[in-house]
Amino acid sequence: MGGTRNIASPGHTGQCATPHPSDWIQEMTQQDQERWNERYRSPRWKGGPLPHSLLSEYAGLLTGGLALDLACGLGQNALWLAEHGYRVIAVDISRVALRRGLKAARRQGLADRVLFVQADLDHFRPPAESCDLICVFRFLNRGLFPAIRAALRPGGVLIYATLNWRRAQTHPDVPREYLLRPGELGRAFGEMEIIAQGENGETSHLIARRRREY
């Protein structure tokens, strides 16, 4: 299946679609789509999660512009960013999750500030220097690291938090490829200005800023 799908209301202004996400990816995998669609149909996801605490904790770094929310799920972080002045492109492979996110955006009057895009992040590549903020929560694809670094504008902020190696101690069935190694985020984004990084139990996080060029 080629291209990308925008899950947006007919009246969407397109403010968030420059550069347009249809140019950012190559293909989607049907099997992955169905797996995540089934997950988001389960009763576990009925209520919807809260925005990640790192957003409010580091709100002073978030000055607006274009934000990219990768593996956005139900869109709770994208909506928080829209409420705080960002135009947001929210990307996920699950059409079920994106539709729920769009419904929430409409309820909150934010549908004109968030563009929900269905895409397989294994093949997703945002344009260079296109984003003022990129956030990634509970998702790991090491092949996407170079594209994340390149997509930030000078001065742009990255907020990344996902499961680490300790998760395997309590969930031995989780593939190790989906778990961060000790200090891995800091090494992957070491050329950026590291604002904060660390491990909190089974989660590692990093907040960093792309250095400005003089």
The pLDDT tens digits of the residues spanning 64-108 come to: 999 999 999 999 999 999 999 999 999 999 999 999 999 999 999
Residue 33, pLDDT above cutoff 90: no
Q: Is residue 7 part of a domain?
A: no
The CATH number for 166's domain is: 3.40.50.150
**Which pLDDT score, from 0 to 100, does residue 9 have?**
41
What is the number of domains present in the chain?
A: 1
Tell me the C-alpha distance between 112 and 117, whole Å.
14
Q: Is residue 158 part of a domain?
A: yes
Q: What are the structure tokens assigned to 3, written together?
A: 């291209």
Mean pLDDT value across residues 181-189: 95
Q: Which residue segment(s) compose the domain that 150 sits in?
A: 14-209
Mean pLDDT value across residues 122-139: 94
- pLDDT category at 25 given cuts 50, 70, 90 is very low
Tell me the C-alpha distance between 24 and 126, whole Å.
5
Percent of the chain clearing pLDDT 90 (strictly above): 64
Q: Is residue 214 part of a domain?
A: no
